[in-house]
A and B are shown apart, each in its own frame.
Chain A
Amino acid sequence: MPKAKLESQKKAPKTKAKVAEVEVKVPGPLEELEQKHERKNVLMQGNEAVAYGALDAGCNFFAGYPITPSTEIAEILARELPKRGGTFIQMEDEIASICAIAGASLAGAKALTATSGPGFSLMQEGIGFAKITETPCVVVNVQRAGPSTGMPTSPSQGDIMQARWGSHGDSPAIVLYPDSVKESYELTIRAINLSEKYRTCVVLLLDEVIGHMRESVLLPDLRKTRVISRIKPNVPPHWYKHYDKDQKYLSPLASYGEGYRFHVTSLTHDALGFPTNKAAEAAEMMARLRRKITYNIRDLVQIESHQMEDAKIAIFAAGITARSAKAAVAIARSEGIKLGLLRPLTIWPFPDEAVRKMLQDVEAVIVPELNQGQFIREIKRLTRDKSEGNVVGLTKVNGQMLTPNDILRKVKEVM
C-alpha cells in the first residue's frame, strides 16, 4: 500500500460536537499532490480492500481469530494498526473477538472483526449483544461453503439468512454485500459509518471469491470519502440517557471513562440502560430497535439497477453472482434479449420497494445464488398478486461459481 494514503489517514476527521457526519479536511496543495500520486491504480485483493477501507474509515480496534478465507484482513491490520496507534489483538476464539470489539466500542473505539462461516456462527450471541445494547461495531464475514467446516476455500452465499436471523430473538439487521474489490473498500467504510450512525452491529458479507480475488482498483479520493463518527452527548452526565428516544432514534453515545458512568446490560432495559421487566418499557425498547431501521430505510438501502429500463427479464443477484449476471446481461443484449440486473448493495433491510417495482416491470425474474434458495424466498414474499411462477431460482452449492453461461441458459429456458 502506498505510504501517502497512510499519511492522509493520520489527519483523520475530528467529530464536531453536534453533527454526526463530518467531511474530511481538505488538504493543502502539497498533500493534494501526494494524494494524487497515491491514488493510482493498485492491484489489490478483496480482503486487503476491507482492511484499508477499515483504516480509512477510522477503525482503531481489531480483535479477531484466524479463519480461512478471511485471515488476510487480520494479518494486514496486525501490521497496520500499531503504526497508527490503534489496537490489534488476536483473541482466543471468535466469541472473545466479538465481545472484545463490543467492549472496545463502549470505551470509544471504532471496532471491527473479520471471520468466516464457523466463526460467524460463534459470534451470533455477541452480535445480538451489540444490537440490544446499541453498540457500534462491524463484523466482516467472508463466506465459505458450509454447513459446518464445509469447504474453507470455496465460495458460497449460504449466510444470507444467517446474517439476517442468526442471532436469537427478534431484531433487525444491517447487512452490506459488495460485488468487487473496489466496492469491498467502499462498503467497509460504509459499514463502519452506518454502525456509528445507527449504533448497531453492521455485517459485511463478502464472497470467498471476492476476498481472495485480485483486481486493479482505483480507490476513491479520500477527500470525498465521508467518515461518520458517533454523536457524543453534549449534556451533563445526570441528564444523559444512554437510549434517548429523541433525534429519530439516533441518540448520542457516551464512552466509558468520560464521566458519564452509565450502565449497559444485555437484559431488556429502559432508556437509562437499567434492566426492566415492565411490559411497556420492553415494548418501547423493541420498537426502538426496529424503528431505528425502518424510519431510516432510504438511507440504508442501496441498489444498483443495470440495464433495467427496457428489460423484459430481470436477474436479481448479489456479490460475485451479480458479476456473472452482469456478463450474462452483456451477452444477452448482444443477442437482442432484453435482460437486466437488479443488484442489492444492502441486502438487509431487504430492498422491498425496488424489488416490487422490478416485479411489476418485467415478465420474469431469475434469482441465481450460491445456496439452496435464500434470496428467492424474499422475492416470492413480494410477489403477492403476481404469479410466483414468474420467479425462477438458479442455485449451485458445490463450491463453484455460477458462470454467465449458467445464467444465460436459465434465461433462455424462461423465455
Chain B
Amino acid sequence: MANIPQKVVHDYLRHDKKFPHVWCAGCSNGIVLGSIIRGVASLDIHRDDIVMVSGIGCSSRMPVYVDFNTLHTLHGRAIAFATGIKMHKPHLKVIVVTGDGDCTAIGGNHLIHAARRNLDLTVILINNNIYGMTGGQASPTTPHEAFATTAPYGNIEPDFDICQLALGAGATHVARTTAFHTQEVQKMVSDALTHPGFSLLEIVSACPVIFGRLNKKGGPAQMMKDMRDNSIPLSAVDKLPPEKREGKIIRGTLRKEIMPEYTERYADLVARVAAMGEEA
C-alpha cells in the first residue's frame, strides 16, 4: 500500500466549512469517509478530477465535508446524476456514496441499469440495515425478523443481498467488507477507483443509535466487535464447515472482470459515426 501521510484526512476535509458533522456518536460513516479519503490519497488522482455524488440519507451527507467536486441530490437518484456527469466528462472519477435504502429501495432501478451498462462509476454503499435519517424504518436490508419503527413486530420481509443483486445486474467489480476493517475499506476503495467499469463496494456498517437500540445490539463498541466476529474473508469460506459460515458476512472481492466500459463504447460509436460521415 502506498505511503499516505498521517494527516491526509485533514487535508481533504472542508474543515473550515460545515463541521461538526450530522452523524450520531458511534456511527460508522466517519470511519468510512476516512478510509475513502485514504483510498483516494493512495492513488495519483487530482481532487479536481473527482466528483462525489450522493442521494439522501445518513451516508449521503458525506460529500459536503470533503474537498472534491461534490453533489448532494435527490433520494435514490445519485447514480442517475452521476451517469450524466460521467457521460459528459468521462475523464472525471465519479464516486457515488449511498446507503441501503437510497440505493436498493428507491434507487434500485438506477443501480441495476448502471451496472448493466458497465458505466465506470464507483458506488460505495454503506449498509446500516435501516433508514437512519428518518428515524429507523425498515429498509430492504433490514434482516428478517429484526425490529424497525415500521416493523414493530419484527420484519416479515426477506432482505436483499446487495452484492448478489449487483452481480446479477452485471456489475464488473463487486466487493464487500465492514466498517471495522478500515484498511480493507481503503484498499477496496482504491481497487474500485482503478477498476475501468462499474464497481459496487458494500460496506456493512453500524448504526448503534437507531438500529442497535431497536435490536438490542449493545453499544457502538459491541457492534464493532460484532462486525469483526461475524465476518469472514472470502478466502476462508471454503475452509469452514457450513455451520460456521451460517449468517456470516463474507468479506472480499466477489468479482473483478474487465469488460467493455460504457463511455468507451460510446466514444467508439462516435468514432464509427464520424468515419461513416467521411465515407459519405
Contact of B81 among A61, A102, A109 (CB under 8 A): A102
Question: SS class of chain B's interface: helix, strand, loop or mixed?
Answer: helix
* Residues from 72 to 118 in A contacting B, C-beta threshold 8 Å: 82-83, 85, 87, 89, 91-93, 95-97, 99-109, 111
Interface size on A, residues (CB 8 A): 44
Known: A82-B270, A92-B109, A261-B67. A105 touches B84 (CB 8 A): yes
Interface string of A256-295 (1 = CB under 8 A from B): 1111111111110000101100000000000000000000
- Given A105-B84, A256-B89, A263 and B64 touching (CB < 8 A)? yes
- A266 touching B83 by the CB < 8 A rule? no
Interface on B for A, CB 8 Å cutoff? 14, 17-18, 47-49, 51, 53, 63-64, 67-74, 77, 80-85, 87-89, 91-92, 109-110, 113, 266, 269-270, 273-274, 277
- A103/B273 contact (C-beta < 8 A), A96-B77, A96-B110, A256-B51 known: no
Interface pair A267/B72, CB less than 8 Å apart = yes
| Closest chain A CB from B50 CB (angstroms) | 9
In the complex, the answer to whether B92 meets A100 with C-beta atoms within 8 Å is: no
Given known contacts A257-B48, A263-B72, A104 and B85 CB-to-CB distance under 8 angstroms: yes
Contact A83 B273 (CB under 8 A): yes
Q: Once the chains bind, are A95 and B72 in contact (CB under 8 Å)? A: no
Q: Are A96 and B74 in contact (CB under 8 A)?
A: no
Q: B75 → chain A, closest Cβ, in Å?
A: 9
| Contact between A257 and B81, CB atoms less than 8 A apart | no
Q: What are 10 A-to-B residue pairs whose CB atoms are below 8 Å?
A: A93-B109, A99-B80, A103-B80, A104-B85, A106-B84, A108-B88, A125-B74, A256-B71, A266-B73, A274-B18
Which residues of B sit under 8 angstroms from A274, Cβ to Cβ? 17-18, 64
- The answer to whether the Cβ of A315 comes within 8 Å of any Cβ in the partner chain is no
- Out of A100, A102, A261, which one reaches B47, CB within 8 Å? A261
Chain B neighbourhood of A266, CB < 8 A: 72-74
Check A103 against B84 for contact (C-beta < 8 Å): yes
Given contacts A100-B83, A100-B87, A263-B64, contact A275 B18 (CB under 8 A): yes
Known: A265-B72, A275-B18. A107 touches B88 (CB 8 A): yes
B200 to chain A: closest CB distance in Å?
A: 17
Q: Which residue of B lies closest to A92 (CB)?
A: B113
A177 contacts partner chain B, Cβ-Cβ < 8 Å = no
* Contact residues in B for A61 (Cβ distance below 8 Å): 84, 87-88
Complex Cα gap A107–B53 (Å): 12
Residue of B at shortest CB range from A254? B69
A89 and B110 alpha carbons, distance in the complex (Å): 13
